Amino acid sequence: MSEPSPPASLRARYPDHAWLPVSIGCSDALVWRLEGRPGLFVKATGPDADRLAREGLDREVAALTWLADHDLGAPEVVETGTTEDGRRFLATTAVRGRSAAEPWPEEQRGSVVDALARFTARLHSLPTDGCPFDPTAPADPDATPVVCHGDFMLPNVIIDPGALEVSGIIDVGDLGLSDRYRDLAAMAWSLEGGLNPQYGPAYAVRFLREATGDAVDAAKIARHDALRWA
């Protein structure tokens, strides 16, 4: 299957950049990394995208705008709109670093996973009274809602390869208030689920222990795993 080329309606907006398709991750949108000055990312719906796809991209714009007031390294919105051929698009700055899903030397993987756990605590400590987004998953009556990424998996977290700390997050269209185990279960699944074999179950256990203070609620992990595929 050939990689999608950017339509002329989008390429014309940044003609001096090299457009490289991004295939990592599971986004329904088309995504390109733009090499040039400045480095950018462009995400776009197809010309025949349904209402939900368009609203999803609009929601990501709103989430990025809200996150701009919090020091989490989210990309900055450069431009958003609709092209002449009906594509909803979003252009953002590039977060410096490498995706946690990219290959990492074995001796660094533990540090990457520990950085993910530390960042999770930072994300979940954001003020909930300022979050403008409704819960993005069925509510758990026993949980205290926190600000969750909503799709907290390896491809959506960027790591500074020098400091081995999280430098930012991407694909935040599902950000909202939820039980923190929504994010914890998603990252544990991403680490052990087989799509990224450099990690595995031991790293998922390490992440959960670091993120919860060795107080993992296995029932909540199972519940959110079931909800993900419901």
Beta bridge partners of 147: 177
Question: Is 151 tagged catalytic?
Answer: yes
89 SS3 class: strand
- pTM of the complete model beyond 0.85: yes
Assess whether the previous peptide bond of 38 is cis (omega < 30° from 0). yes
Terminal CA-CA length for the chain: 29
Q: What is the pLDDT of residue 228?
A: 76
Measure CA 154 to chain center: 8
**What residue type is assigned to position 203 of the chain?**
Y
pLDDT at residue 25 in the model: 56
pLDDT of residue 137: 62
pLDDT along the chain (230 residues), means of 10: 73 94 73 94 84 87 94 96 88 96 97 98 92 69 88 97 98 93 96 93 97 92 84
Query: Is 74:68 a contact under the CB 8 Å cutoff?
Result: yes
Q: Which domains does the chain have, with CATH numbers?
A: 8-93 (3.30.200.20), 98-228 (3.90.1200.10)
Bridge partner list, 88: 82
How far is residue 154 from each of residues 30, 81, 199, measured CA to CA in Å? 19, 28, 10
Q: Out of 151, 171, 179, 183, which one is annotated catalytic?
A: 151
DSSP 155: G
pLDDT at position 73 is 96
Q: Is 46 strand, coil or helix?
A: coil
Pair 74, 169: CB distance under 8 Å: yes
The SS3 of residue 221 is helix
Q: What gap in Å lies between CA 93 and CA 33, rounded to an integer?
A: 10
Three-state DSSP string of 121-151: HHHHCCCHHHCCCCCCCCCCCCCCCEEECCC
Helix or strand run (H / E) with residue 109 = helix 106-124
pLDDT for res 1: 42
User: What pLDDT shows up at residue 23?
Assistant: 76
Angle, nearest 10°, between helix axes 106-124 and 181-192? 170
Q: Which of 101, 212, 204 is nearest to 146 (CA)?
A: 212
pLDDT of residue 27: 59
